[in-house]
Amino acid sequence: MPNPRQLARTGLALAALAALPAVASATDFVNFETPHVHPLDLSPDRATLAAVNTADNSLELFDVADGTPRSLGSVSVGLDPVTARFRSSREVWVVNQISDSVSVVDVPTRRVRATLATDDEPADVVFAGSPERAFVSCSQPSSVLVFDPERLDRRPRRIEVEAEEPRAMAVGADGGTVFVALFESGNRSTVLAGGFDVDQIDDTPTVPPNVVSDPEGPYGGVNPPPNRGGVFEPPLSAALPPPPPVSLIVKRDAGARWMDDNGGDWTDFVSGARAGRSGRRPGWEVVDRDVAVIDAATLEVGYLEGLLNAVMAIAVQPRSGRVTAVGTDATNEVRFEPLLNGRFLRVNLARAGAAGPAEVLDLNPHLTYETPRVPAAMRKRSLGDPRAIVWSAAGDRGFVAGMGSNNVVE
């Protein structure tokens, strides 16, 4: 089934088609903008560059042996290719998101020698393990398929990933570990039901119950709760009627306490002894898995947690072997649009490894987030919507591409 984003894109495209004149020119084109995952790859011998041509459903090959790209031709693949990865200098695998397939391309002949069916919306492919296996992430069913490159006629093994939308992938320095970025990760926040105590149609108790109005809560049942000490920011207008009761977003902090944006502590009502009042059980927890870690030999899955909110790209830093992921982290616990106003997320880089604790860095350290607008020169220094990360061979320099900001930062 298509997800809401696909339906929205499809609706916009259909609306655009309806607006076209009865006789369209040969240059008219509607682009559904399927998101790239790993659209460029360089062959192991560094002589050939592969680039997906998503709009044309093809793979473009270039000779780059002398440093100047020279076209070698185009290969028709599946619908909306989003990833190209060389398995060897003679073979490149192309992931086609819309046709739910992988095209195995023979580079010398520029022909597809095999087409592999996948689960819905495949996103990336990497090669790992001994003997080598191909791992293909499939975002909609949250699965990773494992193919035998030497026996493409065999059915793949399926790994269930207990998280949302596995997409970008990377292989550990030992070649035996596969890291999978989970695009729709959480940020350790949850919603406490507010609103009414009973259903407005049949007078039955609401489910989940209205815990925000609980008189034993942090605000003594005041609903809406204040967000700046005992008052509201921005102030409530005296000309308006009393506001209706509302729900409330709380976020788990480093001390495992469930806090709102005013310092109100709701831990007892979320995971403590009174969790039943919010429709939960004592000890309740929310899953916040950001990176799946797959053992290429046993296919066992572990997880890295508490890094980012939307994990968009991933790479392994040479020498250190640490996993580095880029993405965004939402500040969805902050109430009222005037307080957000252009500051509703952070663009971060997270690093995690066997040695030492995980580390999260702001990729826009020059921003103070105190004002919604900054000078043009500062905007040009900023990174938005990060979609790729690569490291130098020495591992001392990293580069992140910002799709939203149309730039690359080091």
Give the pLDDT confidence score for residue 313 in this predicted structure: 95
Q: Which residues contact 39 (CB under 8 A, 6 or more apart)?
A: 51, 52, 54, 82, 83, 84
The answer, yes or no, to whether residue 22 has pLDDT greater than 80, is no
Token code pair at residue 359: 């580390």
Give the pLDDT confidence score for residue 15 in this predicted structure: 43
Mean pLDDT of all residues belonging to the chain: 89
Q: Average pLDDT in the 385-404 region?
A: 92
More confident residue, 395 or 50: 50
The answer, yes or no, to whether residue 33 has pLDDT greater than 90, is no
Give the pLDDT confidence score for residue 342 in this predicted structure: 82
CA dihedral 251, 254, 259, 261 (to 10 degrees): -80
Residue type (1 letter), 394:
A
Q: Average pLDDT in the 18-22 region?
A: 46
Give the pLDDT confidence score for residue 356 in this predicted structure: 64
Angle at the Cα of 309 (from 306 to 312), degrees rounded to 5?
115
Give the pLDDT confidence score for residue 9 in this predicted structure: 42
- Look at residues 141, 148, 133, 138 and name the one whose alpha carbon lies nearest to residue 101: 138
Give the pLDDT confidence score for residue 31 in this predicted structure: 66
Q: Is 330 left (phi over 0), alpha (psi -120 to 50) or beta?
A: beta
The answer, yes or no, to whether residue 121 has pLDDT greater than 90, is yes
Residue type (1 letter), 62:
F
Q: Average pLDDT in the 253-260 region?
A: 94
Per-residue confidence at 131, pLDDT binned at 50, 70, 90? very high
| pTM recorded for the entire structure | 0.86
Q: Which residues pair with 83 in a beta bridge?
A: 38, 95
Q: Tens digits of per-residue pLDDT, 159-182?
A: 999 999 999 999 999 899 999 999
Give the pLDDT confidence score for residue 29 in this predicted structure: 62
Q: Tens digits of per-residue pLDDT, 84-104?
A: 999 999 999 999 999 999 999
3-state secondary structure the chain: CCCHHHHHHHHHHHHHHHHCCCCCCCCCCCCCCCCCCECEEECCCCCEEEEEEHHHCEEEEEECCCCCCEEEEEEECCCCEEEEEEEECCEEEEEECCCCEEEEEECCCCEEEEEEECCCCEEEEEEECCCCEEEEEECCCCEEEEECCCCCCCCCEEEECCCCCEEEEEECCCCCEEEEEECCCCCCEEEECCCCCECCCCCCECCCCCCCCCCCCCCCCCCCCCCECCECCCCCCCCCCCCCCCCEEEEECCCCCEECCCCCECHHHHCCCCHHHHCCCCCCCCCCEEEEEEECCCCCEEEEECCCCEEEEEEECCCCCCEEEEEEEECCCCCCHHHHCCCCEEEEEEEECCCCCCEEEECCCCCCCCCCCCCHHHHHCCCCCEEEEEECCCCCCEEEEECCCCEEEC
Q: Are 115 and 91 in contact (CB under 8 A)?
A: no
